[in-house]
Amino acid sequence: MLRIIRQSVRSMFQGSERDTLLPLLAAGKLQAWGRLGNGFPPLSAIPGDRWTTHFLEYHPAPTGGINQTFLKAKARLCVPKTSSELMP
């Protein structure tokens, strides 16, 4: 049963529901919970502003393992301010 629920939640973030869910999470209308690490510290609320600066990355488990989903920061684009910064 738990595997079915996890699969359903994952599919919500990959399908057309994603366009509805992410703005609701970012606005704080829906609450998501997560933790840093493996069981500790306890679950804590994920702030709404994280949904605009981070993305979900899913890793399926090997046989008998546990699926992992990570909330990762989006990469920053570093643009040089002047042409002198382009060359060493």
Per the domain annotation, does 19 fall within a domain? yes
Total domains in the fold of the chain: 1
Return the closest-CA partner of residue 71 out of 37, 41, 42, 27: 37
Residue with tokens 């933790």: 35
Per the domain annotation, does 54 fall within a domain? yes
Per the domain annotation, does 55 fall within a domain? yes
d(CA 4, CA 10) in angstroms, rounded, equals 10
* Residue 1: band (very low, low, confident or very high) from pLDDT cuts 50, 70, 90: very low
* Residue 2: band (very low, low, confident or very high) from pLDDT cuts 50, 70, 90: very low
Per the domain annotation, does 21 fall within a domain? yes
Would you give the distance in Å from CA 51 to the centre of its chain? 7
pTM for the model stands at 0.63
Q: Which long-range contacts (CB under 8 A, 24 or more apart) does 20-25 make?
A: 22/51, 25/51
Domain that holds residue 42: 2-75
Per the domain annotation, does 20 fall within a domain? yes
d(CA 44, CA 48) in angstroms, rounded, equals 12
Per the domain annotation, does 83 fall within a domain? no
pLDDT tens, residue by residue, 14-69? 778 888 888 999 999 988 888 877 767 888 899 999 988 888 888 888 888 888 88
